[in-house]
Amino acid sequence: MYDYRSDTVTQPTDAMRDAMMSAKLGDDVLGDDPTVQQLEVRVAKLLGKEAACFVPSGTMANQVAIRAQTEPGDEIIAHEQSHIYEYEGGAPAALSGCSLRLIRSPGGLFEPADVSGSMRPIDDHAPRSRLLVIENTHNRGGGRIWPLDRIADVIGRARSLGLRCHMDGARLMNACVAAGVEARAYASHFDTVSMCFSKGLGAPVGSAMAGPEATVARARRFRKMYGGGMRQSGLLAAAAEFALEHHVARLAEDHGHAQELASGIATLPGYEIDASLVETNIVYFEVPHGAPGGASGVCERLAGAGVLMLPLGPRTVRAVTHLDVDRAGVSRTLEVLSAVPRASS
């Protein structure tokens, strides 16, 4: 099986399992798991922030950051295809009582004027514009990277308008490796940043949010309230540490495989893709017009041939490369992709 449904499907390597098994553990809710504490210090340093908090998922990292920086009745400005809006179960409304004002633009990236245009008037009738969220890399934007100067412009505008700023950096390290930019350089523009260890970095579970001491302390309280306080979680933090130590630079391989997959798909009759838009490990493409069953039909037939991908639109398929996909797998995948549109289901 070649599984491109997400970079979350990776299995911990033997070396990562060894690191987990030998981790020193405590009770993190009681504040004495040394491995979690070590990870939190490391993440805060990596992101140039005062503090960090280890959480079970990227969703929780985003949601405790949102809750810690907003009040019910506030409004969050974010892209219409952002993960916090599309894929977190309506959590900003359910958990923080916030509405979302959505920016529409191609690829998940936007301009300072989009932020200004999304602000509410200061008026008792209107929600209070409070927080801007940027996703880097942008998942639905095809793993697009926010250029640093564009972040500076957009966040500069947001700050001048009095907004707080959060970066959903679930795949921040992919952006860092592909763009050659340090994580703290991206993070310096934001009040809070989330990042995931369980995506391309290959850990089984775990994410973190980082920011000013007081904001992280508030987020930690919401983590507990949401049921995310974990006990001997050093076991998981050890996997995250291992991932930061050993799996960051190798993300370049995933990006190379995504590029090979994309340029291969571009040569297959009927498929549509702009390979130049593939900047990291996420590949979106259109299946040929008239392929039986459209994207879903193609994905079903791919699965029958041992290749798993996600249909995300009538003709749109997403494939994500990661630790468990190698070059031979990409070649084999291209052969299978070339055969499936013609096959009937």
Ligand X SMILES: Cc1ncc(COP(=O)(O)O)c(C=O)c1O
**Residue placing its CB nearer to ligand X in the complex, 59 or 129:** 59
| Choice from 196, 209, 283, 291 touching ligand X (CB under 6 A) | 196
Least separation in angstroms between residue 335's CB and ligand X is: 28
| Choice from 10, 35, 59, 96 touching ligand X (CB under 6 A) | 59
| Choice from 33, 168, 260, 286 touching ligand X (CB under 6 A) | 168
Q: Which of 204, 100, 185 has the alpha carbon at shortest distance from 167?
A: 185
Give CA–CA dist 112/156, Å, rounded: 8
| Choice from 35, 57, 69, 118 touching ligand X (CB under 6 A) | 57
> Which of the ranges 52-60, 232-240, 284-292, 318-326 carries the binding residues for ligand X, by CB under 6 A?
52-60
**Residue placing its CB nearer to ligand X in the complex, 89 or 270:** 89
Structure-derived torsion over alpha carbons of residues 123, 111, 272, 302, reported in degrees to the nearest 10 = -60
What sign for the dihedral angle of Cα 341, 81, 277, 323?
negative
Least separation in angstroms between residue 84's CB and ligand X is: 7
Structure-derived torsion over alpha carbons of residues 200, 147, 134, 79, reported in degrees to the nearest 10 = -100
Give CA–CA dist 176/184, Å, rounded: 10
Binding mask 78-97 for ligand X (x = CB under 6 A): -----x--------------
User: Which residues from 124-163 bind ligand X, rule CB under 6 A?
Assistant: 135, 139
User: Which residues from 201-240 bind ligand X, rule CB under 6 A?
Assistant: 207
Q: Which residue is nearest to ligand X (CB)?
A: 58
Least separation in angstroms between residue 75's CB and ligand X is: 20
- Rule CB under 6 A: is residue 189 a binding residue for ligand X? no
Say which DSSP state 287 is in: P
**Residue placing its CB nearer to ligand X in the complex, 87 or 270:** 87
Least separation in angstroms between residue 191's CB and ligand X is: 17
| Choice from 58, 141, 143, 294 touching ligand X (CB under 6 A) | 58
Q: Which of 242, 222, 82, 249 has the alpha carbon at shortest distance from 166?
A: 82
**Residue placing its CB nearer to ligand X in the complex, 109 or 268:** 109
Least separation in angstroms between residue 205's CB and ligand X is: 8
> For residue 110, which phi and psi values (nearest 5 degrees)?
-145, -175
By the 8 A CB rule, do 107 and 142 touch?
yes
By the 8 A CB rule, do 26 and 234 touch?
yes
> Which of the ranges 57-65, 91-99, 285-293, 327-335 carries the binding residues for ligand X, by CB under 6 A?
57-65
**Residue placing its CB nearer to ligand X in the complex, 237 or 334:** 237
By the 8 A CB rule, do 295 and 312 touch?
yes
**Residue placing its CB nearer to ligand X in the complex, 196 or 323:** 196
Number of residues that bind ligand X (CB under 6 A): 12
**Residue placing its CB nearer to ligand X in the complex, 108 or 297:** 108
Least separation in angstroms between residue 60's CB and ligand X is: 7
Long-range contacts of 336-342 (CB under 8 A, 24+ apart): 336/302, 336/305, 336/306, 336/307, 337/264, 337/265, 337/268, 337/271, 337/302, 337/307, 338/268, 339/305, 340/291, 340/298, 340/301, 340/302, 340/305, 341/270, 341/271, 341/287, 341/288, 341/291, 341/298
Cα distances (Å, whole numbers) of residue 136 to 24, 65, 268: 33, 16, 30
Say which DSSP state 78 is in: E
| Chain positions contacting ligand X, by CB under 6 A | 57-59, 62, 83, 135, 139, 168, 170, 196, 198, 207
